[in-house]
Amino acid sequence: MAMRPRQPESEPITPRILLRAYAAGLFPMAEDAGDDALYWFDPKERGVFPLDGLIVSKSLAKTLRAQKFEIRVDHDFNGVLAGCAESRPGRENTWINGTIAQLFGQLFELGFVHTVEAWCNGELVGGLYGLALGGAFFGESMFHRVTDASKVCLAYLVARLRLGGFTLLDAQFITPHLASLGAVEISRDEYRRKLEVALMIHGDFARLDPLAPPEQVLTLVRDGA
C-alpha cells in the first residue's frame, strides 16, 4: 500500500522541488484528472525492473524483429502524456492531472523527462515517459493502442538504459502486467540504497542510436553486451 505522508502541498510545487522529491525516494500522484492537488507517495514496497531481468517472450522478440513500429525518442511528449492519461477498462480515472502535466512538461523542456514512442503509419500508437536523474530512471506511465506497442517501447527503454550506464528503473507500483514483464517488489530500504548508488552515476540516456536495429536492442536487453 502507498503512504500519504502529508496533505496536498499548500505551496506550488516547482520542477526543482519535484527533482528533489524523486532524489529522496518520493513521487507524486493526483486523485484524478480533475483534482489539482498532488499527494506524495513513499510505498513500503517499491516496484522496480531489474535491468537484467526484462522478460522478452518469443512473440515480443518476433514483433521487435519485424520492425512493426517506428521507434522515436523525445518526439511527442504531449502525445505520450495524453495517451497515458486516457481512460481504459480497469482504469477509468487517471492520476495524471494538470499539475503533473505542467511539471513534467517543464522537466521535459529541461531535458530531465524522456519519452520512448511507437509509431505506425504516421500515428502514435504507444509509448512511455519517465524522469532521468543520474543513473536512475523513474518510469511514470505507458500506454498502447496497438498490441505490443508499449512492450516494444519498454524493451527499447531497457536497452537504452543498459547501454547508457543506468542501474535503476523504478516502476513505482507492481501490477500483474508489469510483473509478467519482469518487474519485482523490493523494500523501501533496499530501494533507497539502490537509489543512492544510482544518483552517483552519470547515466547517458542519449547513448543508444535512435535507429538502433532490433538485434542490438535484443542483445542489450538479454545480456547487456
For residue 150, the SS3 value is helix
- CA–CA dist 174, 47 (Å, integer): 5
Residue 33 lies in a domain: no
- CA–CA dist 166, 83 (Å, integer): 26
What's the grid cell of residue 174? 507492481
Report, in this order, helix, strand and coil percent for the chain, each rounded to 5: 35, 25, 40
The CATH number of whichever domain residue 211 belongs to comes to: 3.40.630.70
Residue 5 lies in a domain: no
What's the grid cell of residue 217? 536492442
pLDDT tens over the chain, length 225 residues: 344 444 444 568 899 999 999 999 999 988 877 777 889 999 999 999 999 999 999 999 999 999 999 999 999 999 999 999 987 665 556 788 889 999 999 999 999 999 999 999 999 999 999 999 999 999 999 999 999 999 999 999 999 999 999 999 999 999 999 999 999 999 999 999 999 999 999 999 999 998 899 999 999 998 765
pTM summary value: 0.92
DSSP state of 11: S
- CA–CA dist 225, 165 (Å, integer): 12
- CA–CA dist 22, 132 (Å, integer): 10
Number of domains in the chain: 1
Residue 34 lies in a domain: no
State which residues form the domain around 99: 45-223
Residue 219 lies in a domain: yes
Supply the angle between the helices 98-109 and 15-23 in degrees, to the nearest 10: 90
Please state whether beta strands 70-73 and 45-48 pair in parallel, antiparallel, or not at all (unpaired). unpaired
Residue 113 lies in a domain: yes
